[in-house]
């Protein structure tokens, strides 16, 4: 006789709740990344060192609800804090999936940002993502999320539980595109391109 493993269907254990403002996902496990854990990610090494001298702020957190049964899905609530290093927006480390063909769906929940995507042939793009927008990340594609706004950027990523995270596969070359703050808003540039001037400070009218 063939034995088939099935979930016992308990409605409460199948329902998760997201508190977008609080950055929580019920039934999930939280991990945090601080600035010191993002060595090599930002284009401007000097600005990164200088920022670390000021402290080691939280850059992002991920709360993951996972299921390891064969064929199952896992999902994570990512929240990237607002911030910049040398004009480059706060970002996640970024990874390929260890099982390269595994795709992922991202859903924007709060703020504005986007995904830097790069495939194994070296082709790359930046896909902006706002609240209620969905980005499909195909297999064989490294992905990094970026907060382009002044409030936390929150999103849900849904992927096959056996996808696995391969950080080393993209870390050495790093992503070819960097997303910078500029006078006309966010811009995706090639890593070696000249940087835009930083956004001009807002001028105060005399007497305000």
* Residue 134 CB neighbour total at 10 angstroms: 12
| 148 contributes a contact to ligand PAN by CB under 6 A | no
Q: In the complex, what is the shortest distance from the CB of residue 66 to ligand PAN, in angstroms, rounded to a whole number?
A: 10
Task: Give the contacts of 119 (CB within 8 A, at least 6 positions apart).
Answer: 138, 140, 141, 142
Across-strand partners of 125? 117
Contact 119, 170 (CB under 8 A): no
157 binds ligand PAN per the rule CB under 6 A: yes
| Residues 42-81 interacting with ligand PAN (rule: CB under 6 A) | 62, 76, 78
Indicate which of Zn ion, ligand PAN, none lies near residue 78 (CB less than 5 to 8 Å, by partner kind): ligand PAN
Binding mask of the shown chain, residues 186 to 205, with x at each position contacting ligand PAN by CB under 6 A: --------------------
Bridge-based pairing of strands 24-25 and 29-34 is unpaired
Distance CA 16, CA 121 (A): 37
**Total of residues contacting ligand PAN (CB under 6 A):** 13
Contact positions toward ligand PAN, by CB under 6 A? Answer: 62, 76, 78, 92-95, 104, 143, 145, 157, 159, 165
């Amino acid at each position: 006789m063939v034995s088939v493993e099935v979930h016992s269907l308990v409605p409460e254990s199948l329902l998760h709740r997201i508190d977008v403002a609080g950055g929580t996902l019920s039934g999930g496990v939280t991990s945090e990344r601080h600035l010191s854990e993002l060595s090599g990610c930002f284009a401007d090494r000097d600005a990164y060192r200088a920022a670390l001298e000021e402290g080691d702020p939280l850059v992002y957190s991920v709360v993951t609800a996972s299921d390891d049964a064969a064929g199952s899905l896992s999902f994570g609530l990512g929240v990237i804090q607002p911030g910049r290093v040398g004009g480059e927006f706060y970002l996640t480390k970024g990874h390929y999936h260890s099982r390269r063909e595994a795709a992922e769906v991202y859903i924007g929940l709060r703020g504005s940002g986007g995904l830097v995507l790069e495939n194994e042939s070296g082709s790359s793009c930046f896909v902006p993502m706002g609240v209620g927008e969905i980005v499909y990340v195909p297999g064989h594609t490294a992905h990094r999320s970026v907060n382009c706004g002044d409030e936390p950027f929150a999103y849900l990523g849904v992927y096959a539980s056996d996808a696995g995270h391969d950080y080393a596969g993209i870390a050495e070359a790093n992503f070819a595109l960097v997303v910078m703050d500029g006078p006309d808003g966010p811009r995706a540039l090639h890593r070696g391109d000249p940087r835009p001037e930083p956004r001009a400070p807002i001028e105060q009218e005399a007497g305000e």
